[in-house]
Amino acid sequence: MKIIRLGQGFFLSTFREFGSSFWILIFPLILYMIMCSIFGHFDEGNMGIRLGVVYEDKLGGPGKIIEMVLSEISGKNGPFEKTEYATREEGLEALKKDTIDVLFVVPKKTSIHMLRAMLGGGKGGLPPASLLIFYVEGRTASRIGANIIENIMDSINLEATRRRGGFYRSFNVAMEPIRKKEAMDFDFRYYFFPGVMLTAIISTSVFSFPIGFLEMRKNGLTRRLLATPITPLQFFWGYVFGMFMMVGLSIIGLYALAYFVYGVKQHIWEFKFIAMILYSIFTLFSLGLMLSAFARKQGTTVAISNIANYILMFLGGLYFPVFQVPFTLKIIVYSLPSTYLVEGFRKFFGYDIAGLSWVSIFGVPAIWATVSLVIFSLRFKKVMGYE
Amino acid sequence: MEEVLKVVGLKKCYEEVKAVDGISFSIYRGEIFSLLGPNGAGKTTTMEILEGLRRPDAGEIYYFGERVQKIDMRIKERIGMQLQDSRFFDYLTVKENLEFFAGLYSRKNDVTRLLDILGLQDKSKTLVKHLSGGQLKRLAIAVALVNDPEVVFLDEPTTGLDPQARRTLWNIIVKLKEMGKTIFLTTHYMEEAEQLADRVFIIDHGRIIASGTVNELVNSLGMESVVEFDLDGTMPVEEYFKDSRKFEDGRYEITTHDPEKTLSIVYELARKHGVKIRNLVIRRPNLEDVFLHLTGRSLRD
């Protein structure tokens, strides 16, 4: 009960202080809006849809029409960037790996079917040619690409029917969705969401813990609280609880903005996503506690907190990919917990930029948390005590 | 009288400095006990040890008749503390702060009643950061009372306040005594100790150098009067009076059994040296004189 009471006090006091509230609650929202405004429309000019094509049949005769049309709509002439694959399996693999957005398969005997369709008319004989379009369910670019191809193929059918005066048997176009749950279009609203959320957690952690504890020790609040019947451990948990409420409120605000204003709706309600948020809070709070173990002077502490904040944010890749930096910086990038946490979140959205394994995504922050908590525990009396 | 707190041979050192050097005293239920001494004498350290904020190097502490090794939660539930320069939650209101601290105790006082007693009712919804120095001191005392304590520690409660605010606080402290509280008061204002304390222990360099009621302490000097005056020139006052002292502002002070004889000698000296006596005062000795007599220094030094 005392921990809850302490937590409420710390939360309310921090919440009402404009400086703290701004950085923890308001700044992440502004940052997210700015990021989405700047980068949210970057892909509008780039209409390139990556088209994979598999010719299982060597096209000839009327079948050549398909090949010619595909060439026309690819490259400089159209919205597609065409890549040919030798087999259907290769093409499907590329689709699953997001190397292409849509896969168009020309099955065996397509040429002969089309020739018959031209010559034999609309009735009897061989069944009509059947072309296949594979796309990824849930991915807008893939769906759009598939629809465009389907429309183009329909246009060929219509044109052929018109030219043949109805004496033509249309080929079929089958749309085949494949499921790749994690896959999503690259979308800055999603890309920035975990980055900004981690910014809020980092701000709370690297500033509120070291500076907060130091200030309370210097201004006498620690002494005043320890004069009441509470233990230093209750005081500690009370403060952590208060800051947890603060960061929780910040995340709720960010969720509301992202969900209602920017339409970020997929994956963010999944249990594993929310568990990842809690894991991030645990890891980054531990880091903040470690910093507080070394906090002695106000000026130095503020400087260290700022440096830690910027390193964790920018070299952790919260806003921009950082895996192409020079080797020396890469060492820092790969040793920061924020790098792994943000990649973990983005993996849920299907953005596997660095190809980090789940073991490293959880392992590296866990090492940081363990080391931080050990250091903090050793210095607990100095941080939380009065004498 | 019931002994609520007893201290025997309490010691505390900070590296080479003996902040508290083997002090002993007892405090009885319902009294105002004052520890009087100059800054750095060891008052706050003594109080912080008794509040459980510091650990003594040696000595025994008895609370409510029981020896305690550590000031634990059980004791903290029964005592209240107004700490020197203590801070509260700046962004909570006065009432919210009181409710917050009350929530940390199992014994509780009525917060509204406390606001009334401390004269903070009209400030109950004001954020603490907007309070004046005097109001903050009153809040500190209110917080010390949230658990309806048996013993209240007041550490220099009026330091830094203007005379009017100081007098308001004195009235509050008297009110607390009337409510039956035992009060441990540290101060470096002799007027405060004289006005409020039932018993005064004078502390200097970590040691108790005198103790008793104000009358007992003053009478222990064996002097009836103090003669104070200014001179517009110089004359060898110290040569004629052993119990004399010259202050930095040039004022002289002579403690004496026989003020009439002292005055006649002072006038004779002045005439002989051609200087004029100004602002002559004859008064009863006070705790300042006791401290001066014992240490050769002023409480304000």
Q: Encode pLDDT of A8-37 as tens digits.
A: 998 998 889 888 888 888 888 888 888 777
A226 shares contact with chain B (CB less than 8 Å): yes
Q: How confident is the model at residue A239, as a pLDDT?
A: 93
Q: Name which of B76, B92, B96 is nearest A229 (Cβ-Cβ).
A: B76
* Residue carrying structure tokens 């813990």: A209
Are A266 and A325 members of one domain? yes
Are A363 and A228 members of one domain? yes
Are A226 and A316 members of one domain? yes
> Which positions in chain A touch B52 (Cβ < 8 Å)?
226-227
Is residue A273 predicted with pLDDT exceeding 90? yes
Confidence grade of residue A45 (pLDDT, cut at 50, 70, 90): very low
A229 shares contact with chain B (CB less than 8 Å): yes
Q: Which of A153, A178, A203 is the last residue of a domain?
A: A178
Confidence grade of residue B299 (pLDDT, cut at 50, 70, 90): low
Are A220 and A318 members of one domain? yes
Is residue A65 predicted with pLDDT exceeding 90? no
Are A327 and A262 members of one domain? yes
pLDDT digits 0-9 by tens, A302-346: 889 889 999 998 888 888 877 777 888 889 999 999 999 999 998
The CA distance from B168 to B157, in Å, is 11
Q: Is residue B252 part of a domain?
A: yes
Q: How confident is the model at residue A368, as a pLDDT?
A: 95
A21 shares contact with chain B (CB less than 8 Å): no
Are A15 and A57 members of one domain? no
Total number of domains constituting chain B? 1
Tell me the average pLDDT across B272-301. 83
The fraction of chain A above a pLDDT of 70, given in percent, is: 91
Is residue B300 predicted with pLDDT exceeding 80? no
- Nearest C-alpha in B relative to A232: B53
Total number of domains constituting chain A? 2
For residue B196 the two structure tokens come to: 């409020």
Are A216 and A299 members of one domain? yes
Tell me the average pLDDT across A199-218. 89
pLDDT digits 0-9 by tens, B86-125: 789 999 999 999 999 999 999 888 999 899 888 899 999 9
Cβ within 8 Å, pair B76-A6: no
Minimum mean pLDDT range among A62-76, A227-241, B9-23: A62-76
CATH number, domain with residue A130? 3.40.1710.10
Q: What is the DSSP letter of B68?
A: E
Q: Name which of B53, B73, B105 is nearest A223 (Cβ-Cβ).
A: B53
Do residues B112 and B145 make contact, with C-beta atoms less than 8 angstroms apart?
A: no
Q: Which of A114, A145, A178 is the last residue of a domain?
A: A178
Interface mutation target, options A213, A224, A239, chain B, most CBs of B under 10 Å: A224
The CA distance from B284 to B8, in Å, is 34
Show the CA angle centred on residue A101, arms to residues A97 and A104, nearest 5°: 105
Q: Is residue B232 part of a domain?
A: yes
Cβ within 8 Å, pair B104-A6: yes
Are A159 and A76 members of one domain? yes
B299–chain A nearest CA distance, Å: 26
Confidence grade of residue A76 (pLDDT, cut at 50, 70, 90): low
Q: Is residue B49 part of a domain?
A: no
Are A121 and A210 members of one domain? no
Pairing state between β A172-178 and B225-231? unpaired
Confidence grade of residue B56 (pLDDT, cut at 50, 70, 90): very high
> Which positions in chain B touch A226 (Cβ < 8 Å)?
52-53
Q: Name which of A6, A228, A386 is nearest B105 (Cβ-Cβ).
A: A228
Cβ within 8 Å, pair A6-B143: no
A178 shares contact with chain B (CB less than 8 Å): no
Tell me the average pLDDT across A222-230. 91
Q: Give me the domain span that covers residue A124.
A: 45-178
Chain A, chain B: beta-carbon pairs less than 8 Å apart: 70
A162 shares contact with chain B (CB less than 8 Å): no
Confidence grade of residue A138 (pLDDT, cut at 50, 70, 90): low
Q: Give me the domain span that covers residue B274.
A: 222-284
Q: Is residue B74 part of a domain?
A: no
Are A155 and A35 members of one domain? no
* Residue carrying structure tokens 């890469």: A330
Q: Is residue B106 part of a domain?
A: no
* Residue carrying structure tokens 């937590």: A7
- Secondary structure, 3-state, A306-367: HHHHHHHHHHCCCCCCCCCCCHHHHHHHHHCHHHHHHHHHHHHCCCCCCCCCHHHHHHHHHH
Is residue B223 predicted with pLDDT exceeding 90? no
Confidence grade of residue A186 (pLDDT, cut at 50, 70, 90): low
Are A291 and A315 members of one domain? yes
Q: Which of A155, A178, A201 is the last residue of a domain?
A: A178
Mean pLDDT of all residues in chain B? Answer: 89
Do residues A336 and A311 make contact, with C-beta atoms less than 8 angstroms apart?
A: yes
Residues in B whose CB is inside 8 Å of some CB of A read 51-55, 73, 76-77, 81, 83, 85-92, 96, 100-101, 103-106, 127, 143
pLDDT digits 0-9 by tens, A367-383: 999 999 999 999 888 88
Do residues B86 and A224 make contact, with C-beta atoms less than 8 angstroms apart?
A: yes
Is residue A40 predicted with pLDDT exceeding 90? no
Are A25 and A137 members of one domain? no
Q: Is residue B33 part of a domain?
A: no
Minimum mean pLDDT range among A46-60, B199-213, B221-235: A46-60
Residue A7: exposed, middle, or buried by beta-carbon count in 10 A (0-12, 13-18, 19+)? buried
